[in-house]
Amino acid sequence: MITTVELNRKYGEPNKTGAGYLTTITLPFPLYTSWSNEKVTRIQCHKLIANNLLAVFNELLTYYGVDKIHELGIDRYGGCFNYRLMRGSETTLSRHSWGTAIDLDPDRNQLKETSKTARFARPEYKPMIDIFYKHGFLSLGREKNYDWMHFEIAS
């Protein structure tokens, strides 16, 4: 996993608006916000990971197809850029502050869930997680067995 020092060195110091480092990508299939079911066709992420993240979504579409993506809840969006502290920390910023992490289907993959209950720990999601790894991301679920919704750039 990349440290905060390494994040700052490679991706720069984050700020509340993302000014200077965010870009917008157009998704190959719509996502739906977990909190309001609002359709999302574009998201903001760090400009240095935009191609990686877009490649993930393109490959997910190719592998699963839009109907299966929807059925599995892979299109349930929990956020990408969000300038905030890491949950449980009073000093360390979340990887979302850089726009280098994304959360998917947070309602069924909550922070403290383990492989016993998280939806993304099921076998039908292994290809999805493998696709994230192929494009330079890691899964906190696979790495730490919690926060299965969370995928972040690994380097």
C-alpha distance from residue 152 to each of 36, 71, 131, 147 (Å): 24, 23, 13, 11
pTM, full prediction: 0.96
The yes-or-no verdict on residue 137 having pLDDT over 90 is yes
pLDDT digits (tens, 9 = 90+) for 72-126: 999 999 999 999 998 888 888 999 999 999 999 999 999 999 999 999 999 999 9
pLDDT digits (tens, 9 = 90+) for 1-31: 889 999 999 999 999 999 999 999 999 999 9
